[in-house]
Amino acid sequence: MRVIFFSSQTYDRDSFLARPGVTDLELHFQPARLSLDTAPLAHRHEVICAFINDDLSAPVLEQLAAGGTRLIALRSAGYNHVDLDAAKHLGLCVVRVPAYSPHAVAEHAVALILALNRRLHRAYNRTREGDFSLHGLTGFDLVGKTVGVVGTGQIGATFARIMAGFGCQLLAYDPHPNPELLALGARYLSLPELLAQSRIISLHCPLTADTHHLVNRDTLAHLQPGAMLINTGRGGLVDTPALIDALKDGQLGYLGLDVYEEEAQVFFEDRSDLPLQDDVLARLLTFPNVIVTAHQAFLTHEALAAIAATTLDNISAWSAGTPQNQVGS
């Protein structure tokens, strides 16, 4: 069976080729992002293996189906970028990796909190320049601070456990409360209440029509002045220009982003020799109290191995006529 990987990086190739049994498949690793222009590369590949910034809109799915593709195997948990109605209509099966390492993402969210709070990004640059001064580097103790967790599924619950370990008070917002959070002493509140009472807010819900721009000008007005916002969920959960205004007037004190609404245009590529065309991202990067990472929260050895194992299992199960981890049907 011929499988083509879009948006593949060397770490994808390494993690898939390390799996036993992979020799039964003909794997083609393609660094290009899937789009209308690159879809012809999938011609005569029964399976395409796609990642989060690949274009899986109806016109692209139509091209894939016409070229002989029958299975879309996502290397991600999120599937907000797939037109599931079009896939169903075209008879394309869509499978995903529902969980690979909630620890990878939760620990990255904590890394952003610690780096922002203790200004590690600034301290790193200073000491390398021979500047050993401490002005402007004052942080705060995490113990006793209130942390709001938006979305308390696998990643949100893992994040909550870590923050409970720091001695933080937990607040939560999720239409489906998780007993694990209640056992940690978390209180479920409405979103405005959570935003008003939290010193740190971390987003771990999926991007849906309901959660699009969940953090916007109106909801930002509820924040405690100087609060910290961490987004490792999806870029579309926040209205980025509204975040910039909140940073400018101090309503938002710290911002850690691993995802960005327009990330498909820039993330996963070395663009350091090119002028940055995205003015919103360029403005974000000027703030000393903002850290942007390029969607790397998932990137641990353990998560990559789990993504490869589940994806190959998904392909085998589908080819045996018993699809697993299917979405949209």
Catalytic residue among 13, 263, 271, 302: 263
Residues 6+ apart with CB under 8 A from 227: 195, 198, 199, 200, 201, 251, 252, 253, 254
Sheet holding 200-203, edge to edge: 187-188, 169-173, 146-150, 200-203, 227-231, 252-257, 290-292
What is the Cα gyration radius of the chain? 21
121 belongs to the catalytic site: no
Interface with ligand NAD by CB under 6 A: which range of 89-97, 182-190, 283-291, 295-303? 295-303
What residues numbered 16-55 form the site for ligand NAD, per CB under 6 A?
A: none
Tokens of 259: 């995802």
- 234 among known catalytic residues: yes
- The CB-of-214 to ligand NAD minimum distance in angstroms stands at 7
Among 153, 241, 323, 328, interactor with ligand NAD by CB under 6 A: 153
Closer to ligand NAD by CB, 67 or 206: give it. Answer: 206
227-231 vs 200-203, strand pairing mode: parallel
Q: Which one, 169 or 178, has the nearer CB to ligand NAD? A: 178
Q: Which of 44, 128, 135, 176 binds ligand NAD (CB under 6 A)?
A: 176
Tell me the backbone φ, ψ of residue 309, rounded to 5 degrees: -65, -50
The residue among 207, 216, 273 whose CA lies nearest residue 241 is: 216
B/e letters for 224-245, b = 16+ CB within 10 Å, e = fewer, are eeebbbbbbbbbbbbbbebbbe
Nearer of residues 63 and 211 to ligand NAD, judged by Cβ: 211
**152 near ligand NAD, judged by CB under 6 A:** yes
Give the contact letters, 247-286, x = binds to ligand NAD (CB under 6 A), - = no: -----------xx---------------------------
CA dist., res. 198 & res. 189, Å (int)? 11
What residues act catalytically? 234, 263, 295
Binding-site ranges for ligand NAD (CB under 6 A): 77-78, 99, 102, 105, 150-156, 173-176, 204-207, 210-211, 232-234, 258-259, 295, 297-298
